[in-house]
Structure 1
Amino acid sequence: MLHSKTERFAVPSSSEFADDAEMFELAPVSLWLEDYSGLKALFERWRAEGVISLRDYLLEDATRVEACSSQIRVIKVNRRTLSLFEADDLSHLVGNLDRIFRNDMLKAHIDELVQLWEGRAEFFSNTVNYTLSGRRLDIQLKGSVLPGHEGRWDRVLIAIEDVTEREAARRQLSTSETYARGLFEHSPVSLWVEDFSAVKQLLDDVRWQGISDFRVFTDVHPEFVSRCMSEIRVIDVNRHTLELFSSPDKQTLLMRLGDVFRDEMREHFREQLIDLWNGKIFQQREVVNYSLSGDELHLHLQFSVLPGYEKDWSLVQVALTDITARKRAEAYLEYLGKHDVLTKLYNRTFYVDELNRLERKGPFPVTVVIIDLNGLKAANDQLGHAAGDALLRRAGEVLSKAVDKPSYAARIGGDEFALLMPGTDERDAKVVMDGIENLLEVNNQFYTGLPLSFAMGAATSRPGERLEAIVKRADLLMYEAKRAHYAAASAPR
């Protein structure tokens, strides 16, 4: 993640996304929201010019790496980022990126670019950055193109974890056993020392039986995975492990490992076994464990058979970094990519994607209901946008209760909404629309002030009909209903 010093940056509206920005701001890991659309355009141009191996192309000329970096735009960073890199504010940070990202990270940045070039939506690297005062930072970087933005790469979430202390500890472990023990105990990362020798024996026994496809074997014999888990012997854990898993002491933790490693962990461990079967004795993956208090922990796991123990796996180190806050931040940003913040309904991006999915896969028939909120412009003009926003929120309340999965309600325009209802016909649509009218009546009884009113049009797919045509039919029917509504409102009484 290199950037040019002169790149521009933008800050989104704080009033509309105040709650969301607070979660982003308070995340305990460094988060960067960036725009990679310029980089994507550059990649497309290079492909058109015949570039096949991006790595070779970049290594031929370092200025090409700088060209890539200059296309990356920082949108915003959180509070932890400013404190980590010792910056006063976003402009201070962006104006000094050339001091943060130096040649030390050139190889790692090329690796990141190659991962994107190869079509991955996520990329990883371990590299070095610097604070504005010149202090070295060993970091672990993970980038992810946010859902809904895969076509443009205009929203990329970067999470940076400061692993300086851990990396320094690793570099100095060999200097002194006493010093190494102190580093182990006081490491800010959860460290486990384990004995996998019984697991290796079990794998060797299966191999001697002539098994060649271990994945198929574990599909047929899931109990083998459970047995391997039960054969792991934990030798030691450090203090941070006890804190992370809410354990008063080592004995309590070791007696309750079944509460720690459960549910999703079994599938993660199966993948770990498959990698070991294939000779991969250093592994990294994200896993889910649980503290003794029942809290779900998202962890970055690094597994390594220690040097000198490759033949029997009797000494293994596992390092667990807590990434729960980052995962929650990613999940919330993913939510924002699919939802309208004001109404809490799905947004137009999700609506378009779901419409395309239904076009390909059904189930048919598909019914589309197009809905327009009556009177929004008048409310905004006469009473102000706060009154209009209140109507929109009420519309979201009604439509969120109108349908259940696999049907969806989405806000697709300023005052326009849509219901996508796969596997439903005209009778189902009539039931839903009658239900909406009932919900409107209840809503108007609950809220004082402006009445909530919809104009609705529904259309159901015919065999061979494109969904685009259905939407147009529903849209025309909605406009007929809207004209009738205003005609009735203006008629003399």
Structure 2
Amino acid sequence: MKSFFPENNSAENKQHERCCGIHAAMRVLAESSTPDEAISKILQTICESLEWTLGEFWTADSKNNVLRCTEIWHNPSVNISEYHTLTRQILFSPGVGLPGMVYHSKKPVWIPDIVQTTYLHHAKIATKEGFHGTIGIPITYENEILGVFIFFSHKIQPPIKELLMILASTGSMVGQFIKRIRAGNALRQAYNNLEMKIKKRTFALVQANKKLQVKIIERKLAEDALNASEARYRGLFENSPVSLWEEDSSAVKTYINHLRAAGINDLNTYFDNYPEEIYKCVAMMKVLDVNKATLKMYEATSKEQLLTGLAHTFDKESFFVFRQALVALSEGQTLFEAEATTRTLRGTKNYVYLRLSIAPGYEHTWEKIFVSLTDITAHKQTENALRRRIDFEKTVASISTKFLVISDFNNAVFKSLADAGQLSKASRTYLFQIHDNGNIVNNTHEWCNEGVRPRIQLRQNLSSATYPWLMENLHAGNIIHIADVSKMSSEAAAEKNEFEKEGIKSLLILPVYAENELAGYVGFENVVSIGPWHEEDIARLRIMAEIIGNAIARKKSEALITHMAYHDPLTNLPNRNLFQDRLQGAIVHAKRTGKIMALMVIDLDNFKTINDSLGHHAGDLLLLAVAERLTKCVRESDTISRTGGDEFILILPEIVYPINAAIVANKILDTLSNPFLVEGHELNITVSIGISLYPVDTSDRDDLIKKADIAMYLSKEHGKNTYRFYKSDMNTHV
């Protein structure tokens, strides 16, 4: 804003320029991808905005407990090559030197003239280079200090409390930025390590499979030896550790021949159309003999007991493998091998390696078929557990990569819930987030398995008081693992009632923390059956919850940095950067719709008098109150911004007549005419308002601002506490 009394406003303008420089430094954080890139630009931006000569960044080396200078920026007009070399060689311990003092205290330091502080190591070097004013700013994240900013000026610089506070806030934002980037790098490294582990474990699985194949070949050799000598057969048969069977399937062969004669050559299609025929074929088989190992495998006390209960040893998978064997033998093969499942007489499921061969000379009748079953249950359980573990680790790794870039947080959460839900065989997975200081919980994301009804619409704006036991455990950091909802304790009666209403049989709930604060929870529900989740699965699902928590924290931090770059730190109104964007958008919209847009510059009359008499703190409180009242005077589609000092600019898009702008101006004058109560003082203020119109006054954005500014000064010339349009005839018309 231009002024008729530049000598009175120079300090204020200076302060405004410094604030703009600090906000520019914040924009550097939003635009930088690495700490090194950001630090150099921030040092330059702050030095240039404060008109200081030199800036340094001292990195905290926690391993060696020292500070070392890793970045220096200085005004190109000065030659400090010797100082630059010396500073790069110096190491400071905590509490030693200016960087060490700031690092140890974790507080900003402003020294008007470092030459007078002889106890600091920097004083000697600074005196030689002609430095005087010095500022030290800690770079912090929560309670951890990551480094120190040091700034030097060739002038003696009296402390400015507000500026020091802003710089300290800048140090905190830089610390958050550095910590976020380091966390991202650590996450990538963890992903790479996890990927290497998966490769190693996959290799181990392959090796295990090779060993299994070797064992299978050994079994085949053993069976071949049995066939080689009939004399040795009975002894080997009875005492073999492998389950051995002798079967007569001649009736099955006759049945197959009958089908062939009837013109049925495609048995696969036939059995697809008539699956019950498979059961008939099983019933036609005659078991001639089994050995001791078979009785042991099927938990039978005698051959008679096994043969009587043989029908109970088949399950759906067994029938499928029998069908494959039947088709293979009918096509002329004399040997069939496959993995299969079978059940003991007590119902226990076993995995076996099946080898079925037709005895030589019986290829056309199937009167003698040898069957061997090798128990591979332990191996399959180990293999399945390893495969499940690998699948889980791959899923967790995949989930972590989804959150490396928070460009589409909602999609990343949904895909992660879907991956985890499918792998854990859950009916429904979801994310609840906590709002309103912990009083409200919202189901923000949900994945449902096929056939499961979504519940997300019914789980909005729920009071956390509805689930006291659940919330207490989550705040304590506990995992809630309920294998059977019907057996929940009485202290969880409210939760049990809600879960049973929704048909939930079992569930697993894991707390989600963002920067050590409970941000919500991830849930896995089973509406089909009861049963626990595996402990290893829970551990990996907890990692997923931690990943989501970190993503939520990163999302909040990035949103905060972006907000600070485009909003005034005092009033939280849009600053000049956001104002320029909104103005350009309003001009484009007005041009497209053919409507008028008004720009209104509002300047407080005699604000400097209030600042000088009551102090800057009172002035800031008054500006906050003015901003609050101005906000109530405009529509949601309007933009009210603070562009510096006591100046506000209002954008009024889509007005029909110029008088509409005059109505808003009168409303503002009336609203601000009421007294303000600031720190016990009743203050009466007035404002001067200047109005320019697009496209009536101009079609150029910068010219539109300039003409509104001129109209504002016309208001001051006409006695203040009024408004003026840029064109005088418009004032007469209105």
Given the two structures, how large is their TM-score scaled by the length of structure 2? Answer: 0.32
In terms of Rg, which structure is larger?
Answer: 2
In terms of fraction of residues, the more helix-rich structure is: 2
**TM-score (normalised: structure 1):** 0.46
Using CA pairs below 8 Å that are at least 6 residues apart, which structure has the higher relative contact order?
1
